[in-house]
Structure 1
Amino acid sequence: MDALRTALQPITHNLPGPVRDLGVSLIGESCYKALVLDIDHENTECVKLAVSKALGIGIVGASSIVKVPQIIKLVKSQSASGVSFLSYLLETSSLLISLAYNVRNRFPFSTFGETALILGQNVIITVLVLNYSGKASVAALFVAALAAGVFTLFNESILDATTMGYLQAGAGVLGVASKVPQIAAIWSQGGTGQLSAFAVFNYLAGSLSRIFTTLQEVDDKLILYGFIAGFSLNLVLAAQMVYYWNAPSAKVKGKQKEAPIKAAPAATTTGASTPKGKGPTTRRRG
C-alpha cells in the first residue's frame, strides 16, 4: 500500500485546478485531503461519503434515460396497455413535491437530482398514456394542473416550511401508493404489456442506492422512510416482471381467443325436385 501511495501521490498532488475544485465540492476539503492527497483508504467515514457521492452521481446520470425505453415502447406500439395512468399520476405528484422540498431545503443535488429528470419523463409518459387512451383533453388539463403545482410548491410566500414538511410526508405516501395501481394492473391483465423492464429494474437499483445515500448525506427520516417503502414495492414490480416475462400481451391474447369463423358450405343442386304435395309438413291421409 505504501508503494502504491508513493506512486500515486505525485499525480494526485498535481491534478488540474478544475478537477481539484470538483473533488472538494463533492466530498469536502478534509475528505479530499484524506482520500486524494494522502490516499488514506482506512478513513471509513470519508470512504462511505465518496461511495455515496459516486452512487448519487450514477443515479442522476442513469435517471436521465431510465424511462426513455418506456416512452419508446408507448410511441412504437401506439398503445398504453399494461401502463397505469393512476400510477403515473400519483408518482408524478410525489416527485414534484419531493423536488420542491429538496430544493427549498438546499440538500446536495447528488441526493435528489434524479427527481427532476424522472419527473420530466413521467410527464411525457402520462400525456402519451392519456392520448393513446383517447383522453387528449384530460392530458391538457393534467399539464395545466402540473404548471399550477410548480408555481405553488416553489413559492415560499404561498407555502411555508412547516406546510412543505407535511406535504413531503404525504409525498412519501403517494410515492408508495403509486406502485399499487401498477402492481394491480399487471396482476389483473396477467402480463406486463407495454411496461418497460429497463425502467422497472433501474428503479429497483436506484431506490436501494438512495437508501444508502440518504443515510450518509441527508438527516431526514421522511425521505429515508419513503425510499425504504418505495424499494419494497419496486421489488414486487421486479418480481412480477420476472414472473410474467414470457407472458403474451393482452393484444396477442385477444388474437389467440379469436376463432376463425368458417362459412357454411352452400347447398348443391342435384336436379331432383320435391314432389308436389309431399313437402315436410304434408300429412299422408289414410
Structure 2
Amino acid sequence: MMHPFTPARGGSRGAAALEGKPRFPSPESLQPAPPAGSRGVPGTAERLKLPQIMKLLGAKNAEGVSFLSLLGELLAITGSLAYSVARSFPFSAWGEALFVMLQTVTVGFLIQHYGGRTRRGVLFVLLYIGVLSVLLSPLAPASVLTAMQASNMPAIIVSRVIQAATNFRNGHTGQLSALTVIILFAGSLARIFTSVQETGDILLVVTYVVSVACNGLIVAQVLYYWKPTKKFLQRSTCDEAI
C-alpha cells in the first residue's frame, strides 16, 4: 500500500519544489486505519467525529470540548490535505483528511455557537475556507506546505495535551464524546501493527506509539472522570429544564 506521503507519479503544482523533501507522518496517525478490504478508501473517517457532533447537537452544549485543542488538530489535518493535493496524490491518500477536516470544522462551529458566540463561529468557518482556498491554490509556496506537513505530529500532540489539561482543570470531560476518543485510540493502536507489517519503518512505528500515548491519555481521563462527568451532565440537564 502506498504511504500517504510517498511521491506519486506525475507532476503537479509545487511538486518539483517539494521533490526530495523528507516525508513526514500524516495527522491520520491519530485516526483509525482503513478497515481491511478497503485500505486507502475513506471509511471510518467518514463517521469518525459524528458521535461528537451528535452529542453536541443533542446536548446543545459544548462544555469541556477545547476549541484551542481543535485548532491544533485542524492545523495538522489542513497541512496534510494541502500537501497531498499539491503533490497530486490520489484521493485515497488524502480522502480521510478531507472527511475529518469537514467534521472538525463543524465541531469548531458548534463549540462557538453553543458558547453564545455564533457570529464568531461563522467568522471561524469563513476564515478557514479562505485560508484553505489559498493553500490549495498555486499561490501557496511549496516551503509553507512542507513546513505545515512537518508540524503535523507536534500540532496533534499539543492539541491532545491541551484537551487533557482542560479535562484536568474541569475535573470532568464534559461533552467530549467517549466513542470518538476510543475510536481514535483503537485506530492509532492498530496502525502500530499495520506499519510494522507493511513498512518496517522505525520512525513511522515510533510516531504511532506516540499517537497511542496521546490518545491513551484522553481515554484514561474519560474513564477516570466517568462518574464526575455523569454528574456534570445530569446537572446540566436539570439546569436546562429549569
Corresponding position: 1:242 with 2:217: no
Kindly tell me: are residues 147 and 228 of structure 1, through their superposed partners in 2, closer, same or farther at Cα, counting changes over 3 Å? farther
AA matched with 2:217: V
Partner of 1:114: 96
How does 1:117-156 map onto structure 2 within 5 Å?
117-156=99-138
Contact 1:176–1:226 (Cα < 8 Å) also in 2 = no
AA matched with 1:155: S
Cα displacement (A) at 1:155:
2.1
**RMSD over equivalenced CA pairs, Å:** 3.1
Corresponding position: 1:66 with 2:84: no
Cα displacement (A) at 1:232:
1.7
Q: 2:79 aligns with which of 84, 97, 101?
A: 97
Partner of 2:66: 84
Larger RCO, structure (CA 8 Å, separation 6 or more): 2
Q: TM-score, with normalisation over the residues of structure 2?
A: 0.72
CA deviations over 1:118-161 (Å, ceiling 9, x no partner) = 1111111110110000111211221122112212222244312x
Q: TM-score, with normalisation over the residues of structure 1?
A: 0.62
Partner of 1:205: 186
Kindly tell me: are residues 66 and 254 of structure 1, through their superposed partners in 2, closer, same or farther at Cα, counting changes over 3 Å? closer
Contact 1:98–1:171 (Cα < 8 Å) also in 2 = yes
* Runs of 5+ consecutive residues of structure 1 not aligned to the other structure: 1-50, 257-286
Cα displacement (A) at 1:79:
0.7
CA distance in 2, matches of 1:230, 1:148: 30
Contact 1:69–1:199 (Cα < 8 Å) also in 2 = yes
Partner of 1:194: 175
| Bigger radius of gyration | 1
CA distance in 2, matches of 1:142, 1:183: 23
Kindly tell me: are residues 110 and 231 of structure 1, through their superposed partners in 2, closer, same or farther at Cα, counting changes over 3 Å? farther
Contact 2:34–2:43 (Cα < 8 Å) also in 1 = no
CA distance in 1, matches of 2:200, 2:88: 11
* Runs of 5+ consecutive residues of structure 2 not aligned to the other structure: 1-32
How does 1:267-278 map onto structure 2 within 5 Å?
none
SS, match of residue 216 in structure 2: helix
AA matched with 2:77: L
AA matched with 1:120: L
